[in-house]
Amino acid sequence: MSLLNEMLVGDELLSKARALSNRPEDEIARGCGYVGPSGRVLRKSFYRALVEAKGYKLPSSSPSTGGTRGRQADFRTRVHGNGNLLIGHAYTRRLGLTPGQEFKIELNPEAGSIVLNPMHESDISLDDIES
């Protein structure tokens, strides 16, 4: 099954959606090209495009960009119930970090901050390897 590269809009969207109207909603959205890079159906974008194709003007969800692009990193996190602190993909990607990269964690209790310093092979001691 091939995915459309282009998300249909306007009359093309309405026509295709009508042609697929006997199918489940996700199949209609897929058939109209509303699929993200991971293969996930972009329901909100699909429904929004349908409403606009019917002639309703919707206010932009994100005035600065003129559209939505999924979740945006707001650079906030919280400590989970198990005590873990998660730094998400949006942050590691923005910093150019790669899987497997190691860091030394330094705490600054006075400021209440945590600093991650990248480790280099020369930074790894025999104590680190044995533990």
> 35-70 pLDDT, tens per residue?
988 889 999 999 999 999 998 887 765 544 444 555
Domain boundary (37, 56, 72) is at 72
> 10-39 pLDDT, tens per residue?
999 999 999 999 999 999 999 999 998 888
Q: Which residues contact 116 (CB under 8 A, 6 or more apart)?
A: 103, 104, 105, 106
> 94-130 pLDDT, tens per residue?
888 888 889 899 998 888 888 888 887 665 555 555 5
| Chain centre distance of CA 88 | 10
- Rounded to whole angstroms, how far apart are CA atoms 5 and 65? 21
Range of the domain at 60: 1-72
Same domain, 102 and 61: no
Confidence (pTM): 0.45
pLDDT at 98: 83
Please state the domain count of the chain. 2
Report yes or no on 89 lying in a domain: no
